[in-house]
Structure 1
Amino acid sequence: MPADTPKVKQPMRLPQPMQRGTLVARYKRFLADVRLDSGEEIVAHCANPGAMLGLKDPGLPVWVSPSANPARKLAWNLELVELPTGLVGINTAHPNRIVAEAVASGAIPELAAYESCRPEVKYGERSRVDFLLTCEGLPDLYLEVKNVHFSREPGLAEFPDSPTERGARHLAELSAMVAAGHRAVMLYLVQRTDCSRFGLAGDLDPRYAAAFALAKAAGVEALCYDCALSTETITLRQALPILPAGDYI
């Protein structure tokens, strides 16, 4: 992107009209019973395979969006949880779209020099990297994106909220890309506005924390950005500092 091109953060728009309700139960990982403010009770798709600690308690206010596919069995998607400190995005299908918009608009300075961004490119042994960024004269950049919604200490966002063997494998494969002469970046996207720093939940998944430390030593770069959220849009907002390893492992 040319240096004189304005870096405008583009919002990712949520399907409308959103409906507010109360969480009755989240179960079978991908299902959530919600009582809408209108009184109607629905079953929503919960696009989040994690533990959702602190975000799945019955009685929490939530927001659901209509499915774009009228033939789908579940007509609603669970999108946001409303906490006293603000909205939290729990839909793990959104971070890649948010990051793609931010990369395209040059809103992530660490990635702004690259001209091409391709999603879902095969790499490693059995994976697809979220994005492959390329530019003549620069090493290829392999970019993985992780959704972050977990916080148990005020101001601290953490990842993961449950063991993730797949996440540890991604870190190892990014390390292999660095060894092959490329750049590799792990970007943690915090879908909440009430956190000012980021760390790893090493007590919940020590294997992931160890894999992260090995990846960092191998030259894998780590970035963390949070989001501005509303019931209409989600936008990448600002960089958050990542705590030193000794502070979270």
Structure 2
Amino acid sequence: MKFAEPLVGGRLVKRYKRFLADVVLDGDGSEITAHCANPGSMLGLKEPGARVWLSPSNNPKRKLKYSWEIIEADGALVGINTALPNKLVEEAIEDGRFSELSGYASLKREVKYGKNSRIDILLEDSDGGKTYVEVKNVHLMRQPGVAEFPDSVTARGAKHLGELADMVAEGHRAAMVFLVQRPDCERLSLAEDIDPAYAAAFRAARSAGVHVHAIGCDVRLDGIDAVKPVKITI
């Protein structure tokens, strides 16, 4: 995935109210408020003074001109925009970079299912068989090389796991995909100390037959791509 416009660099002042971040821009040194498309805690990814990169918008209807896309942390570029993972996984499937989920006849996004929910990706084979795919963004790293999910309590995430298990019980296939938006992680684990309820729901869903995959990203200032498998150690 290529960014539509060149990113603008700066230094993070603070992230607050979940969806806002103040940034001092490179060049003229002006301080602006950017949209932060990330509802999580962003543990380890909101240190004041950190190098960040923003995508600009020329849409006059937007309240905030900039969106926060990338931060430099632990010596790596890390994608923080949680609106991107579905698109990144879709591109990886369609380009054949995600072999476990390739070869289907059709791919649809945001299809209604379960208990008033929408599945991130619905795959269908030529015989009408369905695979329900839920995508979660991952960028927490507390140990070198180990990505963890979640970075905050997520009752919604646990609900989605239960709905995937329900799809399996109805005779469909279901998959949980963790999209790691950083290149410096080789393994994925659960942050059970942060959300033990999610960890319990994950194990129940896996036991019920939900498949689990993790794929890591190449994060660059001109774009982000899901490119490599990440080992799951859960």
Length-normalised TM-score, structure 2 = 0.97
For the 8 Å contact 1:20–1:36, the answer to whether it is kept is yes
Larger mean CA deviation between 41-50 and 60-69 belongs to 60-69
- Say which SS state the counterpart of residue 204 (structure 1) adopts: coil
Which runs of 5 or more residues in structure 2 are unaligned? none
| Cα deviation, residue 103, structure 1 | 1.4
- Say which SS state the counterpart of residue 232 (structure 2) adopts: coil
Aligned partner of 2:13 in structure 1 is: 24
- Say which SS state the counterpart of residue 233 (structure 2) adopts: coil
Matches within 5 A, 1:21-170: 21-38=10-27, 39-67=29-57, 69-137=59-127, 139-170=129-160
For the 8 Å contact 2:92–2:227, the answer to whether it is kept is no
> Segments of 4+ in structure 1 off by > 3 A?
none
Aligned partner of 1:202 in structure 2 is: 192
What is the CA–CA distance in structure 1 between the aligned matches of 2:77 and 2:228, rounded to whole Å?
A: 16
Identity of aligned residues (%): 55
| Cα deviation, residue 106, structure 1 | 1.8
Aligned partner of 2:217 in structure 1 is: 227
What is the CA–CA distance in structure 2 between the aligned matches of 1:215 and 1:111, rounded to whole Å?
A: 19
Larger mean CA deviation between 226-235 and 77-86 belongs to 77-86
Which runs of 5 or more residues in structure 1 are unaligned? 1-11, 245-249
Indicate how the Cα distance of structure 1 residues 233 and 126 shifts in structure 2: closer, same or farther if over 3 A, else same.
same
What is the CA–CA distance in structure 2 between the aligned matches of 1:33 and 1:243, rounded to whole Å?
A: 36
Aligned partner of 1:4 in structure 2 is: none
| Matched AA of 1:25 | K
Aligned residues: 233
What is the CA–CA distance in structure 2 between the aligned matches of 1:161 and 1:213, rounded to whole Å?
A: 18
| Matched AA of 2:38 | N
What is the CA–CA distance in structure 2 between the aligned matches of 1:21 and 1:132, rounded to whole Å?
A: 38
| Cα deviation, residue 70, structure 1 | 2.8
Matches within 5 A, 1:205-220: 205-220=195-210
| Cα deviation, residue 57, structure 1 | 1.2
Aligned partner of 1:13 in structure 2 is: 2
For the 8 Å contact 1:150–1:158, the answer to whether it is kept is yes
What is the CA–CA distance in structure 2 between the aligned matches of 1:223 and 1:34, rounded to whole Å?
A: 35
- Say which SS state the counterpart of residue 195 (structure 1) adopts: coil
Length-normalised TM-score, structure 1 = 0.91
For the 8 Å contact 1:15–1:68, the answer to whether it is kept is no
Indicate how the Cα distance of structure 1 residues 84 and 160 shifts in structure 2: closer, same or farther if over 3 A, else same.
closer
Larger mean CA deviation between 158-167 and 95-104 belongs to 95-104
What is the CA–CA distance in structure 1 between the aligned matches of 2:149 and 2:74, rounded to whole Å?
A: 21
| Cα deviation, residue 68, structure 1 | 5.2
Larger mean CA deviation between 160-169 and 93-102 belongs to 93-102
What is the CA–CA distance in structure 2 between the aligned matches of 1:114 and 1:190, rounded to whole Å?
A: 23
| Cα deviation, residue 182, structure 1 | 0.4
